[in-house]
Amino acid sequence: MTAIHQQQQHRPPSLVPLLVPLLAGGLVVLALGVYGRAHTPTGYAVGVAGFSAALPMKAWLTTGAFVLAIVQVVSALSMWGKLGITIPPAVHRWSGRLAFVLTIPVAFHCLYALGLQYDVPRVLAHSLLGCFFYGVFTAKMLALPKRDTPGWTLPVLGGLTFTALVGIWLTSAFWFFTAIGIKV
Protein backbone atom coordinates (compact mmCIF):
# COMPACT_ATOMS: atom_id res chain seq x y z
CA MET A 1 0.00 0.00 0.00
CA THR A 2 1.44 3.38 -0.96
CA ALA A 3 1.81 6.26 1.47
CA ILE A 4 -0.71 8.31 -0.52
CA HIS A 5 -3.26 5.49 -0.37
CA GLN A 6 -2.74 5.20 3.42
CA GLN A 7 -3.29 8.95 3.80
CA GLN A 8 -6.52 8.75 1.84
CA GLN A 9 -7.79 5.90 4.03
CA HIS A 10 -7.11 7.83 7.24
CA ARG A 11 -8.36 11.22 6.05
CA PRO A 12 -11.27 12.46 8.13
CA PRO A 13 -14.57 12.80 6.27
CA SER A 14 -14.96 16.07 4.43
CA LEU A 15 -17.44 18.72 5.51
CA VAL A 16 -18.10 19.62 1.86
CA PRO A 17 -21.10 17.24 1.58
CA LEU A 18 -22.73 19.17 4.42
CA LEU A 19 -22.54 22.53 2.66
CA VAL A 20 -25.74 22.16 0.65
CA PRO A 21 -27.84 20.74 3.54
CA LEU A 22 -26.59 23.40 5.97
CA LEU A 23 -27.02 26.20 3.44
CA ALA A 24 -30.55 25.01 2.62
CA GLY A 25 -31.38 24.77 6.33
CA GLY A 26 -30.02 28.27 6.91
CA LEU A 27 -32.13 29.60 4.05
CA VAL A 28 -35.23 27.96 5.54
CA VAL A 29 -34.55 29.62 8.91
CA LEU A 30 -34.03 32.97 7.22
CA ALA A 31 -37.07 32.67 4.94
CA LEU A 32 -39.39 31.73 7.79
CA GLY A 33 -38.06 34.51 10.00
CA VAL A 34 -38.34 37.14 7.28
CA TYR A 35 -41.81 35.99 6.30
CA GLY A 36 -42.89 35.91 9.95
CA ARG A 37 -41.79 39.53 10.43
CA ALA A 38 -42.83 40.93 7.04
CA HIS A 39 -46.25 39.25 6.82
CA THR A 40 -49.14 41.11 8.44
CA PRO A 41 -50.66 38.60 10.89
CA THR A 42 -54.28 37.72 10.14
CA GLY A 43 -55.25 36.43 13.59
CA TYR A 44 -56.75 33.33 11.97
CA ALA A 45 -55.18 30.66 9.79
CA VAL A 46 -56.62 27.17 10.13
CA GLY A 47 -59.78 25.51 11.33
CA VAL A 48 -59.44 23.94 14.74
CA ALA A 49 -61.05 20.61 13.74
CA GLY A 50 -62.57 19.35 16.96
CA PHE A 51 -60.69 21.66 19.31
CA SER A 52 -62.30 24.52 21.20
CA ALA A 53 -59.85 27.10 19.81
CA ALA A 54 -56.52 27.51 18.05
CA LEU A 55 -54.39 27.55 21.22
CA PRO A 56 -55.60 24.16 22.50
CA MET A 57 -55.21 22.71 18.99
CA LYS A 58 -51.62 23.95 18.78
CA ALA A 59 -50.83 22.79 22.34
CA TRP A 60 -52.12 19.25 21.74
CA LEU A 61 -50.58 18.83 18.28
CA THR A 62 -47.25 20.12 19.60
CA THR A 63 -47.52 17.72 22.54
CA GLY A 64 -48.13 14.87 20.09
CA ALA A 65 -45.05 15.89 18.11
CA PHE A 66 -43.08 16.14 21.36
CA VAL A 67 -44.06 12.61 22.44
CA LEU A 68 -43.17 11.28 18.99
CA ALA A 69 -39.84 13.11 19.21
CA ILE A 70 -39.08 11.13 22.36
CA VAL A 71 -39.87 7.97 20.36
CA GLN A 72 -37.43 9.32 17.77
CA VAL A 73 -34.62 9.61 20.32
CA VAL A 74 -35.25 6.17 21.80
CA SER A 75 -35.50 4.49 18.39
CA ALA A 76 -32.37 6.31 17.16
CA LEU A 77 -30.46 5.11 20.22
CA SER A 78 -31.67 1.59 19.44
CA MET A 79 -30.59 1.86 15.79
CA TRP A 80 -27.13 3.01 16.90
CA GLY A 81 -26.89 0.04 19.28
CA LYS A 82 -26.92 2.13 22.47
CA LEU A 83 -29.90 0.51 24.25
CA GLY A 84 -29.37 -3.22 24.03
CA ILE A 85 -32.85 -3.62 22.55
CA THR A 86 -33.89 -3.60 18.93
CA ILE A 87 -36.58 -1.24 17.77
CA PRO A 88 -37.45 -1.63 14.09
CA PRO A 89 -36.15 1.26 11.95
CA ALA A 90 -39.70 1.72 10.65
CA VAL A 91 -40.67 2.97 14.12
CA HIS A 92 -38.07 5.72 13.79
CA ARG A 93 -39.12 6.64 10.26
CA TRP A 94 -42.86 6.71 10.96
CA SER A 95 -42.66 8.47 14.31
CA GLY A 96 -40.58 11.18 12.62
CA ARG A 97 -43.00 11.50 9.74
CA LEU A 98 -45.99 11.74 12.07
CA ALA A 99 -44.24 14.23 14.35
CA PHE A 100 -43.42 16.43 11.37
CA VAL A 101 -46.98 16.23 10.02
CA LEU A 102 -48.34 17.29 13.42
CA THR A 103 -46.17 20.40 13.34
CA ILE A 104 -47.43 21.62 9.95
CA PRO A 105 -50.82 23.09 10.99
CA VAL A 106 -49.21 24.54 14.11
CA ALA A 107 -46.43 26.25 12.16
CA PHE A 108 -48.84 27.45 9.51
CA HIS A 109 -51.08 28.98 12.15
CA CYS A 110 -48.15 30.54 14.00
CA LEU A 111 -46.65 32.13 10.90
CA TYR A 112 -49.80 33.15 9.08
CA ALA A 113 -52.02 34.16 12.00
CA LEU A 114 -49.43 35.48 14.44
CA GLY A 115 -46.14 36.12 12.63
CA LEU A 116 -42.74 36.28 14.28
CA GLN A 117 -43.24 38.19 17.51
CA TYR A 118 -40.56 39.68 19.71
CA ASP A 119 -42.37 41.72 22.40
CA VAL A 120 -42.52 38.92 25.00
CA PRO A 121 -39.30 36.94 25.67
CA ARG A 122 -41.12 33.57 25.76
CA VAL A 123 -42.85 34.29 22.46
CA LEU A 124 -39.60 35.52 20.88
CA ALA A 125 -37.82 32.34 21.98
CA HIS A 126 -40.74 30.30 20.62
CA SER A 127 -40.68 32.12 17.28
CA LEU A 128 -36.92 31.72 16.86
CA LEU A 129 -37.00 28.06 17.92
CA GLY A 130 -39.77 27.41 15.39
CA CYS A 131 -37.71 28.88 12.55
CA PHE A 132 -34.62 26.99 13.75
CA PHE A 133 -36.55 23.71 14.03
CA TYR A 134 -37.58 23.76 10.37
CA GLY A 135 -34.10 24.83 9.27
CA VAL A 136 -32.26 22.11 11.15
CA PHE A 137 -34.90 19.55 10.13
CA THR A 138 -34.30 20.52 6.49
CA ALA A 139 -30.54 20.14 6.94
CA LYS A 140 -31.00 16.72 8.59
CA MET A 141 -33.29 15.43 5.86
CA LEU A 142 -30.93 16.62 3.12
CA ALA A 143 -27.89 15.14 4.89
CA LEU A 144 -29.62 11.81 5.57
CA PRO A 145 -29.04 10.16 2.17
CA LYS A 146 -25.43 11.36 1.93
CA ARG A 147 -23.00 8.57 2.82
CA ASP A 148 -19.86 10.70 2.77
CA THR A 149 -20.67 12.94 5.73
CA PRO A 150 -18.85 12.74 9.07
CA GLY A 151 -20.27 10.18 11.50
CA TRP A 152 -21.47 12.88 13.88
CA THR A 153 -23.72 14.52 11.28
CA LEU A 154 -27.02 12.73 11.92
CA PRO A 155 -26.71 12.53 15.72
CA VAL A 156 -25.90 16.25 15.92
CA LEU A 157 -28.60 17.38 13.48
CA GLY A 158 -31.11 14.98 15.02
CA GLY A 159 -30.18 16.20 18.50
CA LEU A 160 -30.58 19.81 17.45
CA THR A 161 -33.95 19.03 15.87
CA PHE A 162 -35.08 17.31 19.08
CA THR A 163 -33.75 20.13 21.27
CA ALA A 164 -35.53 22.75 19.17
CA LEU A 165 -38.80 20.82 19.40
CA VAL A 166 -38.43 20.49 23.18
CA GLY A 167 -37.88 24.26 23.36
CA ILE A 168 -40.91 24.86 21.17
CA TRP A 169 -43.01 22.59 23.39
CA LEU A 170 -41.79 24.27 26.59
CA THR A 171 -42.51 27.77 25.26
CA SER A 172 -45.94 26.86 23.90
CA ALA A 173 -47.78 23.72 25.02
CA PHE A 174 -46.18 23.45 28.47
CA TRP A 175 -46.80 27.17 28.98
CA PHE A 176 -50.41 26.78 27.80
CA PHE A 177 -51.14 23.79 30.04
CA THR A 178 -49.61 25.44 33.12
CA ALA A 179 -50.83 29.02 32.55
CA ILE A 180 -54.25 28.42 30.95
CA GLY A 181 -55.06 24.83 31.92
CA ILE A 182 -55.68 21.57 30.16
CA LYS A 183 -58.37 22.24 27.59
CA VAL A 184 -59.42 20.52 24.43
Instruction: For 67-126, write each residue's pLDDT tens digit.
Output: 999 999 999 999 989 988 999 999 999 999 999 999 999 999 999 999 998 899 999 999
| Alpha-carbon span 128 to 123, nearest angstrom | 9
Q: Which of 87, 58, 56 is nearest to 70 (CA)?
A: 87
**Residue of higher predicted confidence among 133 and 46:** 133
Among residues of the chain, what percentage have pLDDT more than 70?
Answer: 93
Q: Is 123 exposed, middle or buried (0-12, 13-18, 19+ CB in 10 A)?
A: middle
Q: Is 91 exposed, middle or buried (0-12, 13-18, 19+ CB in 10 A)?
A: middle
Give residue 10's pLDDT.
63
CA distances to 145, 148, 160 from 152, in Å: 14, 11, 12
Which H helix or E strand runs over 109? helix 89-109
The amino acid at residue 180 is: I
What number is the average pLDDT over the span 154-170? 96
Residue 21 lies in a domain: no
Residue 63 lies in a domain: yes
Give residue 9's pLDDT.
61
Q: Mean pLDDT over all residues of the chain? A: 90
Q: pLDDT at residue 4 above 60? A: no
Residue 115 lies in a domain: yes
The amino acid at residue 84 is: G
What would the pLDDT profile of 20-47 be if each residue is shown by its tens digit? 999 999 999 999 999 999 999 998 777 7
Give residue 74's pLDDT.
96
Q: pLDDT at residue 173 above 90? A: yes
Count of domains forming the chain:
1
Q: pLDDT at residue 5 above 70? A: no
Residue 175 lies in a domain: yes
Residue 34 lies in a domain: no
Domain that holds residue 142: 53-184
Residue 113 lies in a domain: yes
